[in-house]
Structure 1
Amino acid sequence: MITLPILFEDGEALVIDKPAGLPIDRPRSGGTSLENYLDALRLGFQRLPLAVHRLDQDTSGCLLLARNAKAHKRFAAAFEARQVEKVYLGVVAGPVAEDEGTIALNLSKISSAEKGWRMIPARAGKPAVTHWRVVERRDGLTLVEFHPETGRTHQIRVHALAGLGAALLGDPVYGGGPVADAPARRTMLHAAALTVPREGKPPIVAAAPFPADFAALGFSCLPTT
């Protein structure tokens, strides 16, 4: 197994740089998941750390872990109250005309025998808000910085398609084709930075390095936090 880089560490929290391809939960078919690394991530503490939020298997970058149940509860409440600042980078598989904006589209889960489950914009869905700005344009692709206010499942992936007019590069669900047909080996989404406020303590602040597969597409810009 590879070593997971640690971006932030103190007595109640860890932020790791999760690699693309590593699932948070163990797949039903078996295989490596975050669970395989938890014992090594104890770093001398008695309890195994607990993931506070979710990142899709393909998504790389900042993942917050709590060292104990009380800290997990506080951090989860901060996410629920929209107090956590999150910055993502995504490569949109097409041109984006505007330079910045806000996407407010409610999201709902649907399922079919042909396509499985996915999220769609729907008036009756849960509110979802994403602020965005273009970082760089190159060869028909657009590097976009996303600041999600809410944390709905697949929020940025659906908002990219419905709000910006093109899916994230390599997205097999919302991009209209399998990853193998795209010039990318995964859905190109990266959790670039995370700031979690804490009462009576300095905030948790972490930033993940710019991914090599983003750079391989010719992009070089880093996010602002």
Structure 2
Amino acid sequence: MNETAASDQVRQFTVSVEDDGIRLDRWFKRHLPDASFNIVSRWSRTGQLRLDGKRAAPGDRIEAGQVIRVPPAEAPAAPKPRVERPRLSEDEIAYVNEMVIHRDPAAIVVNKPPGLATQGGTKTSTHLDGLLDGLANERGERPKLVHRLDKDTSGVLLLARTPRAAAFFSKSFSGRTARKVYWALVVGVPEVKDGFIDLPLGKQPGTGGEKMHVDESDAGLPSRTRYRVIERAGNRAAWVELQPHTGRTHQLRVHMAAVGHPIVGDGKYGGQDSFLTGSISRKLHLHARRLRIDHPDGGRVDVTAELPAHLAESMASLGFDLELGDLPLDDVKYSETPEGKRKAASAVAKAKRKERKGERRGRGRG
């Protein structure tokens, strides 16, 4: 390769015998590796790349003795300034460490309080991800989030302390080998005490992706939830265990509302029907109680999280006995008996009829 111009001007190179017959983009890889394929393609589109005076394309074959005309070298893009996270206060460090309920060389498990977002977003400046510097190791390496909880959902949240652990745990969640158990208070009492909800979910149009709904079209994603009724407060409310077998956004909330038993305090999906009268808090009554997941170093992480104050108070007010909780984790993925399917379908149909009836009342008032 013979260069016949300075690098800050239009440059010309003569193709050597060693490069005879190769593609032009291959020539750039050999001799001008700083010129990426995207840059070479742009030079070609704008007519700045020439071969013996004629416009050239990256895929053109070149011959010994031809002259390649190349624009001036481009200055490398300035590196993006590193965004420094604000230093945490002593109170913030203490706050995030108080959440820790398990710690080992590969994992940290926290009991996330309700009202704290997992990650930042629009109008969300305070979140768990922003507090993770307070859980950094002695080398200053912060743990990594490997799954999420809704802002208003409390409970078990797993953090990985190393890249290897993050990859291992992420695979466990995506492969559905992790077992997650939630406790919830729901309005009314499900007819089927040990049931399975299999309703596809999708983003509700017109909500900007902020709300999900049951979507039985081809666009709906398969979504499966097992539930078990632990105890009931008459016909007013029930304490249920929920086990998601898929991980869709707001899955538990949408599924329970769809079968006519919204989670207490979930105005987003249950409307006014989700709020109980009396001393019951209007906060969301959904708690990630337990997580069981294989550990990258062998064995398992199996952790439970204590209830937040508002949920514990509601349970006591309704007379529930906490000793009845923490049912054994069996290997049954869900109840799929014909009777179970029939009752689940009946509950869905009943909920839809109730929804249509409400819509008719609304039109009548208008």
TM-score (norm 1): 0.89
**1:169 shift after superposition:** 0.7
Residue 136 of structure 1 aligns to a residue in which SS?
strand
- Alignment match, 1:93: 187
Matches within 5 A, 1:1-225: 1=92, 2-3=95-96, 4-112=98-206, 117-123=210-216, 124=218, 125-138=220-233, 140-163=236-259, 165-177=260-272, 183-198=280-295, 200-217=297-314, 218=316, 219-221=320-322, 222-224=325-327, 225=329
CA shift digits 1:52-101 (9 cap, x unpaired)? 11100000000000112221111111101100011000110222222111
Percent of matched pairs sharing the same residue: 35
Higher helix share: 2
CA contact (8 A) 2:203 2:209 kept: no
Residue 141 of structure 1 and its aligned partner are, at CA, apart by 1.1
CA RMSD of aligned residues (A): 2.3
C-alpha displacement at 1:43, in angstroms? 4.5
Give a deviation string over 1:197-221, Cα, whole Å, max 9, x none: 1355111111101333222122332
Counterparts of 1:178 and 1:95 in 2: how far apart (Å)?
Answer: 14
Deviates more, 1:150-159 or 1:171-180: 171-180
Partner of 1:22, secondary structure, is coil
Classify 1:52/1:38 alpha carbon distance in 2 versus 1 (closer, same or farther; 3 Å): same
Q: Is the 8 A contact 1:61 1:191 kept in 2?
A: yes
Kindly name which structure, 1 or 2, has the bigger radius of gyration based on alpha carbons.
Answer: 2
C-alpha separation between the residues in 2 aligned to 1:142 and 1:99? 10
- 3-state SS of 1:65 partner: strand
**How far has the Cα of 1:46 moved from its partner?**
2.9
Q: Using the alignment, how far apart are the partners of 2:150 and 2:308 within structure 1? A: 16
Which runs of 5 or more structure 1 residues have no equivalent in the other structure? none
Cα 1:109–1:79 change in 2 (3 A) is same
SS at match of 1:174: helix
Equivalent residues of 1:27, 1:33 under 8 A apart: no
**Greater share of residues in strand:** 1
Larger RCO (CA under 8 A, 6+ residues apart): 1
**d(CA) in 1 for partners of 2:104 and 2:139?**
11
Q: Partners in 2 of 1:212 and 1:172 — Cα distance?
A: 20
Conserved 8 A contact 1:16-1:61 = yes
In the alignment of these two chains, the number of paired residues is 223
Letter in 1 for 2:213: I
Q: CA deviation at 1:186?
A: 2.0
Normalising to structure 2: TM-score of the pair?
0.57
